[in-house]
Structure 1
Amino acid sequence: MRFVIVGAGAVGGVVGARLYQAGFGVTLIARGAHLEAIERGGLRLETPAERVVLRIPVTGSAGAIEWREDHAALVFTKSQDTLTALLELRAAAPPDVPVVCVQNGVENERLALRLFAEVYGAVVMTPVAHLEPGVVQAYGTSLTGYIDIGRYPSGVDGVCEQVSAALRGSGFGSAARPDIMRLKYAKLLTNLGNAVDALCKPGPDSERLIELARAEGRAALRASAIDYAAPEVDDVGARWKRMGVRPIGDRSRPGSSTWQSIARGARAVETDYLNGEVVLLGRTNGVPTPVNELLCRLASRHAAQGMGPGTLASQQVLAELR
């Protein structure tokens, strides 16, 4: 199996690098300064144990790839960029190419299934970072991360088993799961804290804000009769310990993926597909979600105005809810 990495940022870049190091055929799709840096000098992978430059094939477009029957497309873009990436992919790739959504949120698989017949969801937990063009960091030492995969909307097939085996052979914990969306909804609840992490400094008020957002999330999921019970996802601390997360030199892993987007100066973030999913479910089922609504508005404004991470006071955000 050969892999096309659609969106070679933090997670996509690290996964592509690890698959490439394990001997798999890999092509990266990247954009802008990141693409230019990889074309010019390769992808630099930094870990607690090594700093290596990998000359992985890279392109700015799915149309530049010579697609084969054994290709799979692993999609890592942020949710707000998914539709554009999928439309470009459909114009270039075979119609039966397996499309694996290795992304936060639960909307990406629905979008993919409109365009492709073979769609898979993946839930990812991996301590990585991408803050500089051409460079990605992976902070796990025992394992690079966990990526479980299942057919969308449910089930397991040979593609799941192949991709999972490739990931296990590349330094990840991975299993083929017939109930992958249950795990993804559980991960959605954990990701409701991403906006707070990106907007506010750490502290008790930030933790309170995160718990309020997650309480609304649980209420909205229950009202929607969506199963989200997944102890294997909820037990973040145990998985973090098994990954052996360590600093790289004197640098600990930075914040969440949303924090990293804000830090890179991105003018759009995926909060509308994380906290916004809770807002959508709440509005559909008559469940109030004022905390998640506020976080969506604040995150969108924060990114559009080019404000840096951690510049809001969580006390002020809580005060807006009163």
Structure 2
Amino acid sequence: MRYIIVGAGAVGGAVGGRLAQSGREVALVARGAHLDALRNTGLRLVTPQGEERLRIPSYAHHEDMGPLGAEDVLVLAVKSQDSEGLLRQWSLAPVLGGGTAGEVLPIVCAQNGVANERTALRHFRTVVGMTVWLPATHLEPGTVVAHCAPLTGILTLGHFPENGAESADSALLRQIAADLEASYFAAPVVPDVMRWKHGKLLNNLANALEALLGRSALAQGAGAEDLLAQVRAEGVAVLDAAGIPYNSEKERSVVQGERMRVVDIPEVDRAGGSTWQSLTRGGSVEADYLNGEIALLGRMHGVPTPLNDLLRHEVTRLALEGLPPGSVSADELRAMLGGARTA
């Protein structure tokens, strides 16, 4: 079994690097300067256990790889806004022995948000959802830092759509889980992975707030506790109105326990989350699929979501204007929020 990591950034690089360290066959797919660095000097994977340069075959497109193998597993680890085009391209890739990737290979959606699995099912017959708890950083070409120990992350797996019963490809999930658990991850296989992904969505609603205020300001409070509480409360109200189940923070903490703790790594600064990193690198942001998901569901079910609407708008504005994290204050957000309510 070969794992083809489509999107070898923070999450994809950490998963691919750890799998390669444990002796699994891995291929990385990246672009630009990151791809050049992977090809020239290898993946520099930094963890609390140490630093290693990993020589992993790296590609720009599936065309560079030739026909895919019948035992390959695709792991989609790009941001949600990039999913559609890549899913279409990779679904048409030829597979040795006949058929296309979309017809015969599984794809694992190792992504935040809850829209990717449904999008993937338009192109692939076998879709696996993955809830990603994996604090990692990718700001420098060729380098990925994974910050937790003793486990690097917890990656909850489940079929999509969920059938709640044993299915023909359950052996596939058991094998993926076994490979991940041999590679510094916990990988529970559950019948309700989308419930876990909706729980993670509630946590990810704060990503935009961190990006707007800046990591240090948010970590130190900066008088933003009311905003943090409101953004999650809107999400909970929307999911409840829509009848969408989600796991609780207590459930998550029981699974996590002391197995996954952020550890200081010498000479490595702890960066912000995925949206903070996107702004820092100067890329697009996935707020449309996080805060925007709550806004969409709120409109569908008649639940106001003023703060999620505002955060989605403002963090997208920062990305389009090339502004860095921390370009907005909590007071400015409150003023904008008040204006939106009275408009």
In the alignment, the residues of structure 2 paired with residue 120 and residue 174 of structure 1 have an alpha-carbon distance, to the nearest angstrom, of: 13
In the alignment, the residues of structure 2 paired with residue 121 and residue 232 of structure 1 have an alpha-carbon distance, to the nearest angstrom, of: 21
Structure 2 equivalent of residue 257 of structure 1: 274
1:137 aligns with 2:141: no
CA apart distance, 1:141: 2.4
Structure 2 equivalent of residue 60 of structure 1: 60
In the alignment, the residues of structure 1 paired with residue 7 and residue 242 of structure 2 have an alpha-carbon distance, to the nearest angstrom, of: 31
**Quick one: which of 224, 231, 238 aligns to 1:220?**
238
CA apart distance, 1:211: 1.4
Structure 2 equivalent of residue 305 of structure 1: 321
Other structure's SS at 2:75 match? strand
Other structure's SS at 1:259 match? helix
**Quick one: which of 156, 161, 185 aligns to 2:174?**
161
> Residues 12-33 of structure 1: CA distance to partner in whole angstroms, max 9, x if unpaired?
0010000011111100000111
Q: Do the aligned partners of 1:5 and 1:74 also contact (CA within 8 Å) in 2?
A: yes
Other structure's SS at 1:229 match? coil
Q: 1:111 to 1:233 in 2, by over 3 A?
A: farther
Q: Do the aligned partners of 1:8 and 1:28 also contact (CA within 8 Å) in 2?
A: yes
1:280-299 equivalences in 2 (<5 Å): 280-299=296-315
CA apart distance, 1:204: 4.4
Other structure's SS at 1:141 match? strand
- Pick the structure with greater CA Rg: 2
Structure 2 equivalent of residue 210 of structure 1: 228
Structure 2 equivalent of residue 34 of structure 1: 34
> What number of residue pairs does the alignment pair up?
320
> Residues 291-322 of structure 1: CA distance to partner in whole angstroms, max 9, x if unpaired?
10001100110011111111210111012112
**Quick one: which of 207, 227, 237 aligns to 1:194?**
207
Structure 2 equivalent of residue 7 of structure 1: 7
Other structure's SS at 1:77 match? coil
Other structure's SS at 1:115 match? coil
In the alignment, the residues of structure 1 paired with residue 89 and residue 176 of structure 2 have an alpha-carbon distance, to the nearest angstrom, of: 23
CA apart distance, 1:205: 3.0
**Quick one: which of 90, 110, 134 aligns to 1:126?**
134
CA apart distance, 1:242: 2.1
1:5-154 equivalences in 2 (<5 Å): 5-65=5-65, 66-92=67-93, 93-94=100-101, 95-154=103-162
Aligned-pair Cα RMSD in Å: 1.5
Structure 1 equivalent of residue 341 of structure 2: none
> Residues 67-117 of structure 1: CA distance to partner in whole angstroms, max 9, x if unpaired?
111111011000000011111111215222101101000000010001111
In the alignment, the residues of structure 2 paired with residue 244 and residue 226 of structure 1 have an alpha-carbon distance, to the nearest angstrom, of: 29
TM-score by length of 2: 0.90
CA apart distance, 1:159: 1.6
Structure 2 equivalent of residue 269 of structure 1: 285
Q: Do the aligned partners of 1:127 and 1:253 also contact (CA within 8 Å) in 2?
A: no
TM-score by length of 1: 0.95
In the alignment, the residues of structure 2 paired with residue 318 and residue 167 of structure 1 have an alpha-carbon distance, to the nearest angstrom, of: 43
Q: Choose 199-208 or 256-265, whichever is displaced more.
A: 199-208
Letter of the structure 2 residue corresponding to residue 2 of structure 1: R
Letter of the structure 2 residue corresponding to residue 173 of structure 1: A
Q: Do the aligned partners of 1:187 and 1:233 also contact (CA within 8 Å) in 2?
A: no
* Identical residues among aligned pairs (%): 45
Other structure's SS at 1:3 match? strand
CA apart distance, 1:185: 0.3
CA apart distance, 1:198: 0.8
CA apart distance, 1:233: 5.6
Unaligned runs of 5+ in 1: none
CA apart distance, 1:37: 0.9
